[in-house]
Amino acid sequence: MLEKEIHFIKGIGPKKAEVIKNELGIETVEDLLYFGPRKYLDRSAFKAIKDTFANETVTVGGNVVDAVINGRNRKYLEVIIDDGTDTISGIFFNSLNYFKKIFTPGEFVLFSGNVEFYRQKQIVHPDFDFIDEDSRIKSINTGRVIPLYRSTEKLKKLGLDSRGFRRIIRSLIDSCIEFVNDPLNKSVLKKLSLMSLKEAIFSIHFPESLEAAESARRRLSFNELFFLQYYLAVSKKYTMEENLFSDERSINDTYYKDFIKSLPFDLTGDQQNAITEIETDLKNPFPMNRLLQGDVGSGKTLVSIAASLLAYGRGDQVAFMAPTEVLAVQHYDTLSQFIPSGINFALLKGNLSAKEKNAIYKDISEGNTDIIIGTHALIQEKVIFKKLGLIIIDEQHKFGVNQRAKLREKGKCTDLLIMTATPIPRSLSMTIYGDLDVSYIKEKPADRLPITTMSFPESKIRSVYNSIKKYISQGRQVYVVLPLIQESEKVDLKSAVQEYEKLKNDVFPERIVELLHGKMSSEEKETVMQKFKQGDTDILVSTTVIEVGVDVPNATIMVIEHAERFGLAQLHQLRGRVGRGKHQSFCALIYADNVSNESLERINTIVSLNDGFQISEQDLRQRGAGNIIGSRQHGYASGFEFADIVSDIDLIIEAKKEAEEIVSGIDNVHQKFDDLQKDLRLSPLLNGIRTKRVLSILS
């Protein structure tokens, strides 16, 4: 019954079904049952029209008195409604004939929006919704809750506004709810204080209160999160068993131990723990799949070097892929300082001659090069490894899934270590990377001083320049970062080129100022960076090309102009380019004088917080999951119908625990994995859960 196509439902038919499918992706009875309201209107929150005032955002309800087109130069539709206490007009400037047709006298309608007073009370382009005869607001204190559904102009023209969906779904629930089977046993429901699935489906559509609606959402959220965790747990177990080696792998750790002894400082506790976890993975009889999360400046690169030496001690080659040449060169320079003699490593980059590239290709294929650092160049067909055993991917969110897969295909059962200096909120980490083991590096090296962060409006930038002059005279160096390379007619922002000319010629004519941006050639970028690293440049004006991978201990000042144009994670990353030496470092955030409250809140967050993990949680709360993760992961957050990654962390933890417990007892995981890939429904375990959407966003 639940698989029945919606064109068989009374009141829909083939024509409407096709539009619903195209506009909302709903095809079956089950899809429609899980079509949750976009929001609810609580009748107790309605206001009588007589009690509304100008500049107040309200929801009012009343009968349509008249709908007339007025105006000489610009026509508009005025829809007057009356609730018995007073009247108010809804003003529409677009689609006048369409709106005039649907607002018929006597209809009961809800208007929501900002009240204005022009001759009389009015709301310009109000959100509106029609209420059924039996759902009219007889009293604003009845406490009933009205569900409002997503719709489009095409659907509304077919009568499928919120009112239309309420009628259809109510009828559908009455006839089909008995066919919904609950995948969770009663003990789990009781332990987690969750209502039954049938109760949840009814209450998500027709709750007695907003509290009941939230309880229903949490139950349906748990379904989605549980299935996702189940899918990831099955995938993880399948991958482990599919790629089993004959026995535990042995490692000659001599080179690794020599490296640790050679360090002029002690590793932090988090670094030591991460290396121990990686070493265990590299010895296991199945490939490593590990995410290394480290805050800016926490020392992830040293951990990756340790991992490389352990893999080398196993007789394997290592591929180290970075998203930019600037970062690849930085990693190469770091390896040059620490890799013991006798281990051969190479840098594969775009500005090498054909002869140099061919020589590197040959050494890689013959096994003469042990560690290869590069960008996307590593996934070229010409790059053939003799025995690729470990892949390290830095700033992984800047790579697509296919790019990572292509590199992994160059080896057999290769271990994978992906790193990010953009800490991921715990809830996202457990969903996006639920099939990976995670290591965290939160501690900073003991000799690192916290960065002092300040913010200034654009009108105060002269005082920032004066401070910069003082620190340059003490021998320090400065970054100045801007969002654009060139000036643009579309946005009123300063550019890197524009600021470079200003600072070089007008503000700091006696100092060495250089420019760096992404459109420069590799040779130009490398030359500029080398001069800065060597201390030959006082001020480096740049775009976000220096966001990652730049390590110049003597650079102690970071100035970010138009800070309101950057996200929290990016501001934190840019700030992390300073604070890497023994001197106190500063970050100055310059924002437009007319900055919005939202942008100012973001800037104040960076000023008050230095911990990247705290910042990531704040970023998640401010912007939502879909905006802070990369292209492959975007669907994880936005594809959920009911789960809220921000607030449902407790459900994510419980769903993961329940799913892993079930999967641990599966004997034939290969068959279960095949079932998941071939069939969009799991029966009887997950019968009745919206698995189609979750599977589609995982593909």
pLDDT of amino acid 137: 41
| Number of residues assigned to the chain | 699
Return the ∠ at Cα 14 (arms to 13 and 15), rounded to 5°. Answer: 100
CA distance 387 to 603: 48
pLDDT tens digits, 538-584: 999 998 887 666 789 999 999 999 999 888 888 998 998 998 888 99
Its pTM stands at: 0.68
pLDDT over threshold 90, residue 425? no
Mean per-residue pLDDT for 659-678? 78
Here the tokens at position 235 are 């995938």
Please determine whether the domains at 39-148 and 254-441 fall in the same fold group of CATH.
no
pLDDT of amino acid 179: 86
CA distance 631 to 49: 46
* Segment among 40-44, 90-94, 254-258 with least mean pLDDT: 40-44
CA distance 41 to 567: 33
Cβ–Cβ under 8 Å, residues 169 and 195? no
pLDDT over threshold 60, residue 699? no
- CA dihedral for 232, 238, 243, 249, sign (positive or negative): positive
Helices (H) and strands (E) in the chain, counts: 26, 21
CA distance 335 to 548: 17
Of 146, 159, 61, nearest to 102 by C-alpha is 159
Burial of 652 (0-12, 13-18, 19+ CB in 10 A): buried
Query: Could you tell me which residues come within 8 angstroms of residue 144 by beta carbon, excluding any fewer than 6 positions away?
Result: 43, 135, 208
* Segment among 2-16, 512-526, 529-543, 588-602 with least mean pLDDT: 2-16
pLDDT of amino acid 287: 87
Cα→Cα distances 220→340, 613, 648, Å: 55, 29, 11
Of 268, 267, 275, nearest to 304 by C-alpha is 275
Burial of 57 (0-12, 13-18, 19+ CB in 10 A): exposed
DSSP 286: S
pLDDT of amino acid 341: 84
Of 220, 164, 138, nearest to 651 by C-alpha is 220
CA distance 328 to 394: 9
Burial of 571 (0-12, 13-18, 19+ CB in 10 A): buried
pLDDT tens digits, 380-400: 889 999 999 999 998 766 665
Mean per-residue pLDDT for 336-364? 89
Portion of the chain with pLDDT greater than 90, in percent: 34
Query: Could you tell me which residues come within 8 angstroms of residue 449 by beta carbon, excluding any fewer than 6 positions away?
Result: 579, 582, 583, 584, 585
DSSP 313: T
Q: What is 39-148's CATH number, 3.30.930.10, 2.40.50.140, 3.40.50.720, 3.40.50.300?
A: 2.40.50.140
CA distance 4 to 33: 12
Of 70, 92, 90, nearest to 79 by C-alpha is 90
The answer to whether the bond into 509 is cis (omega within 30° of 0) is no
pLDDT over threshold 80, residue 243? no
pLDDT of amino acid 344: 93
CA distance 170 to 510: 76
DSSP H or E run through 117: strand 108-118
Kindly indicate the confidence band of residue 688, based on its pLDDT and cuts at 50, 70 and 90: very low
Cβ–Cβ under 8 Å, residues 225 and 431? yes
pLDDT over threshold 80, residue 493? no
The three-state (H, E, C) secondary structure of 474-533, written as one string = CCCEEEEECCECCCCCCCCCCEHHHHHHHHHHHHCCCCCEEEECCCCCHHHHHHHHHHHH
**Identity of residue 187:** S
CA distance 254 to 313: 7
CA distance 637 to 646: 10
Could you name the CATH architecture of 254-441?
Answer: 3-Layer(aba) Sandwich (3.40)
Return the ∠ at Cα 479 (arms to 476 and 484), rounded to 5°. Answer: 165
Return the ∠ at Cα 421 (arms to 416 and 550), rounded to 5°. Answer: 110
Q: Which residue has the tokens 């929801």?
A: 59
Here the tokens at position 110 are 């809800």
pLDDT of amino acid 202: 93
Return the ∠ at Cα 270 (arms to 265 and 271), rounded to 5°. Answer: 50
Q: What is 452-609's CATH number, 2.40.50.140, 1.10.10.10, 3.20.20.140, 3.40.50.300?
A: 3.40.50.300
Q: Where are the domains of the chain?
A: 39-148, 202-242+644-698, 254-441, 452-609
CA distance 266 to 280: 21
CA distance 215 to 199: 10
The three-state (H, E, C) secondary structure of 377-408, written as one string = HHHCCCCCCCCEEEEEECCHHHCCHHHHHHHH
Here the tokens at position 100 are 């005039």
